[in-house]
Amino acid sequence: MLATALLGFGLCGMVACDGGLAFDLERAVHQSFSGERALLHVERQMKFGPRVAGSANLERTRQYLEQVLEELGWQVKRQVFKQKTPSGEVEFVNLRVRFVGESVGDQGGEKKVEARVWQNPVSGLVVSHYETKNFEAFEFLGANDPGSSVGVLLEMARVLSERPAVAEKLELVFFDGEEAFVDYTETDGLYGSRYYADSLKKWPEKLRPQWGVLLDMVGDGDLAIRVPVDSPDPLVGKLFAAAEDMNLRKYFGLGSQMITDDHKPLNEAGVPTIDIIDMEYDYWHTPGDTVDKLSADSLKIVGQVALLMIEKYLLDKDGL
Ligand SMILES: [Zn+2]
């Protein structure tokens, strides 16, 4: 007992005094996140044009996401479902993404990968929607909504792939059908996240994620993240703490209202999920939501703070 106590005392400089290893900010995964690379992924999405649920353009977008992710060592599972919408029946596709790492063959075949990667619990979810809202009157490219958060998630996937021990604790999800065809109601909008949240309820208890981080509209050159009030307090505190660590706290604040977004079905399904969103965007749902309104710096601020929040405050501790 005494020896342990003395050892603990002696190492207090290198080891946090609560007994855990001190978090090394310089070696943390967020350091290599590049805003320019995230912006490149936004520009590539623009080339596919409007990316409405059920469209060929969205299928091309999906194939792009799959290619980028698979090259980085992530495995993508398509969650396909049909649902009635005000525009008729639409086929939606969520992309569930988990880290596999080295080639499938080396791990002893597909069955073993299936068991190791998909039947193991993950700590949390990092999510964004990836389809654009349908507008008949004009061409809507959705650079910020949802191009920006998709770009950030893809760049996160790259930096995480360099840290398998962190990547393996996460599931990334790209939701289809976040946007309402007409207006948000119980049955219009949030198609992908509602379906995913429903499917989550059927997972065995021990496999269910403990938390979720949703990104939406995170690329505005004039960045002002305002977390909606229906984001769980412990997660909001961790986001602000990570922003504080990086001297970026001024970009992050609390909103004054609830927002209908993909965090809602997850919270209702028992996975506490924060919505990291900047709704103060002049070009929201207008033809002006183009890539020239975005900044690589904003993508970097959100990408880095979210990664630090995840690595330092959610994975390094015991979750929530
Ligand atoms: Zn939108």
- pLDDT tens per residue, range 49-63: 999 999 999 999 999
Q: Which of 55-69, 89-103, 218-232 has the lowest mean pLDDT?
A: 89-103
Which residues have their alpha-adjacent CB atom under 5 A from ion ligand 1? 145
Q: Is residue 11 part of a domain?
A: no
Q: Residue written as tokens 């290893």?
A: 21
Q: What is the mean pLDDT of residues 83-109?
A: 85
What's the 13 CA to ligand 1 centre distance in angstroms? Answer: 48
Domain that holds residue 195: 25-315
Q: Is residue 12 part of a domain?
A: no
Residue 11 has pLDDT above 70, yes or no: no
What's the 185 CA to ligand 1 centre distance in angstroms? Answer: 15
What's the 179 CA to ligand 1 centre distance in angstroms? Answer: 6
Q: Residue written as tokens 């809507």?
A: 140
Q: CA-CA distance, 237 to 254, in Å (whole number)? A: 10
What's the 205 CA to ligand 1 centre distance in angstroms? Answer: 32
Mean pLDDT of the chain: 91
Q: Is residue 1 part of a domain?
A: no
Q: Is residue 168 part of a domain?
A: yes
Q: Is residue 125 part of a domain?
A: yes
Q: Is residue 259 part of a domain?
A: yes
pLDDT of residue 272: 98
What's the 216 CA to ligand 1 centre distance in angstroms? Answer: 8
Tell me how far CA of residue 118 lies from CA of 102, 159, 188, 298, in angstroms.
15, 21, 30, 33
Q: What is the mean pLDDT of residues 197-222?
A: 96
In the chain, % of residues over pLDDT 90? 84
| C-alpha triplet 4, 6, 11: angle, nearest 5° | 95
pLDDT of residue 26: 87
Q: Which letter does DSSP use for residue 134 in this model?
A: P
Residue 215 has pLDDT above 60, yes or no: yes
What's the 92 CA to ligand 1 centre distance in angstroms? Answer: 17
Q: Is residue 15 part of a domain?
A: no
Upstream peptide bond of 146 is cis (omega within 30 degrees of 0): yes
Q: What is the total count of domains within the chain?
A: 1
Q: Do residues 239 and 274 lie in contact, with contact meaning Cβ atoms separated by under 8 Å?
A: yes
What's the 198 CA to ligand 1 centre distance in angstroms? Answer: 22
* 106-142 per-position pLDDT tens digit: 556 777 888 789 989 999 999 999 999 999 999 999 9
pLDDT of residue 188: 95
**146 is written with which tokens?**
């949802």
Across 196-232, b (16+ Cβ under 10 Å) vs e yields bbeebeeeeeeeebbbbbbbbbbbbeebebbbbebbb
Q: CA-CA distance, 258 to 201, in Å (whole number)? A: 24
Amino acid, single-letter form, for residue 31: Q
pLDDT of residue 21: 67
pLDDT of residue 317: 66
Q: What is the mean pLDDT of residues 206-230?
A: 97
What's the 270 CA to ligand 1 centre distance in angstroms? Answer: 24
Other beta carbons within 10 angstroms of residue 1's beta carbon come to: 5
Residue 298 has pLDDT above 50, yes or no: yes
What's the 22 CA to ligand 1 centre distance in angstroms? Answer: 40
Q: CA-CA distance, 174 to 215, in Å (whole number)? A: 10
Say which CATH number the domain at 81 has: 3.40.630.10
Residue 105 has pLDDT above 70, yes or no: no
Task: Categorize the per-residue pLDDT at 3 as very low, low, confident or very high, splitting at 50, 70 and 90.
Answer: very low
Residue 250 has pLDDT above 90, yes or no: yes
pTM: 0.91
Q: Do residues 216 and 128 lie in contact, with contact meaning Cβ atoms separated by under 8 Å?
A: yes
Q: Is residue 127 part of a domain?
A: yes
Residue 320 has pLDDT above 90, yes or no: no
Q: CA-CA distance, 69 to 198, in Å (whole number)? A: 25
Residue 9 has pLDDT above 50, yes or no: no
Q: Which letter does DSSP use for residue 13 in this model?
A: T
What's the 206 CA to ligand 1 centre distance in angstroms? Answer: 33
Q: Do residues 197 and 268 lie in contact, with contact meaning Cβ atoms separated by under 8 Å?
A: yes
Amino acid, single-letter form, for residue 306: A
What's the 116 CA to ligand 1 centre distance in angstroms? Answer: 35
